[in-house]
Structure 1
Amino acid sequence: MNDTAAGVQACKLVILGATGAVGSCLSRRLKGAGHDVFLAGRNPQVLRYLSEELAAPALGLDVLETGSIERTLQSASETLDHIDGVVNCIGSVLLKPAHLTSDEEWSEVLAVNLTSA
């Protein structure tokens, strides 16, 4: 680990959900603070852009695919040499009234939020 500008030890972190609003903002802040980040998210265009912007390794991730988190962490560990921490920014929110939400939409939101936790 290296010292960052604030005197905090630089860490090697995996950011799950890096392509969302919270995950991308946090990735930028952590990289800007001197930490090494490995980006994982499900939006390939945003992931590619963020990876290039931050000069950070990245991997597509869909938590609903069995074993995807384990594969992501294995890849991150191999790429970064080791992992100091994992930040979970995965989450899904459906912005519509409950009475207009289909069973399929409800199930997907639950699956994403519970599986990633």
Structure 2
Amino acid sequence: MTPVSSAPLRFIVSGGASGIGFAVARMAVERGARVVLLDRDAKRLQYGAGVLGDAALPLVCDVTDAPSVKAAVNHAAEWLGGLDALVNSAGVDSLKPLEETGDDEWAHTLAVNLTGPMLTCRAAMPHLRSAGGGSIVNIASGAGLRPLPHRTAYCATKAAVIMFGKALSIEAAADNIRVNAVCPGAIDTPLFRTSYEHSDDPERTLDEIRQRYALGRVAAPEEVAEAVLYLSGPGASYITGTALAVDGGRTFH
């Protein structure tokens, strides 16, 4: 049997400056890929690109702004010489009861977590089609499979991202473009830390979070990145429209 590459060669990763997005980008580069990082945080973006070296291109991009997304994706595809894989990792949390969730916060959560992936997918589709097919992986959440209290906006958007990908996978199949979601649990990222660091007792809150998980621990971003690269690569060539829980067992525990 002819061995296959462990990762596609040309990636775009939104939210690529930190957390899961950066872990995906770094692991892809380590396995021979070239990656374009999209992020709003210019400082973190430059630092991340510096770590990855010449194999990465940093582009400041607001995933909620359609013209910005289209321009960034087109620039990325030109720099890469095509496109094999898109990973949508940009996201925000919203931790408060619905009655305390203002209109602006609801709209912002929806814009980043759902409209953002739609805009990047829409911009990337022609480039993936021109390459003869490829992969899209949307980073959803275990909270899109099994809800959490005081996260109505977050849970709703992550569940929507899962169904968005399922619907798009049907549209994209004829062009050999696969669309999947990864649903992480508690992952040690800057975004996750905001869920407990500002509580009255951060260590107790973190322990309560761990207890939700069958494995009883918080995962490293690289554990999610492995799943993302698997779904992005040729080893997952017959997988589309799925939502893979990488959540330490919370969604069934």
Q: TM-score, normalised by structure 1?
A: 0.84
Aligned equivalent of 1:27, options 21, 25, 28:
25
Partner of 1:40: 38
The runs of 4+ residues in structure 1 deviating greater than 4 Å are: none
- Partner of residue 84, structure 2: 84
Q: Find 1:53's aligned residue among 27, 51, 54.
A: 51
Provide the C-alpha distance between the structure 2 equivalents of 1:61 and 1:83, rounded to a whole number of angstroms.
18
Pairing of 1:69-80 with structure 2 (within 5 A): 69-80=69-80
Q: Given residue 50 of structure 1, which amino acid in structure 2 is its aligned partner?
A: G
- Taking only aligned residues, the RMSD between alpha carbons, in angstroms, comes to 1.8
Q: Which ranges in structure 1 are unaligned for 5 or more consecutive residues?
A: 1-5
Q: Quick check: which has more Rg, 1 or 2? A: 2
Q: Which of 1 and 2 has higher RCO (CA within 8 Å, sep 6+)? A: 1
TM-score (norm 2): 0.41
**What is the alpha-carbon distance in structure 1 between the residues aligned to residue 92 and residue 109 of structure 2?**
6
Q: Percent identity?
A: 31
Compared with structure 1, are the counterparts of its residues 73 and 16 closer, same or farther at alpha carbon in structure 2 (3 Å cutoff)?
same
Secondary structure of residue in 2 paired with 1:40 = strand
Q: CA deviation at 1:111?
A: 1.4
User: Any gaps of 5 or more consecutive residues in structure 2?
Assistant: 118-253
Cα distance, 1:92 vs. partner?
Answer: 1.7
Partner residue of 2:195?
none
* Alignment correspondent of 1:3: none
Tell me by how many angstroms 1:46 deviates. 0.8
Query: For residues 91 and 42 of structure 1, do their structure 2 counterparts lie closer, same or farther at Cα, with a shift above 3 Å needed?
Result: same
Larger helix proportion of the pair: 2
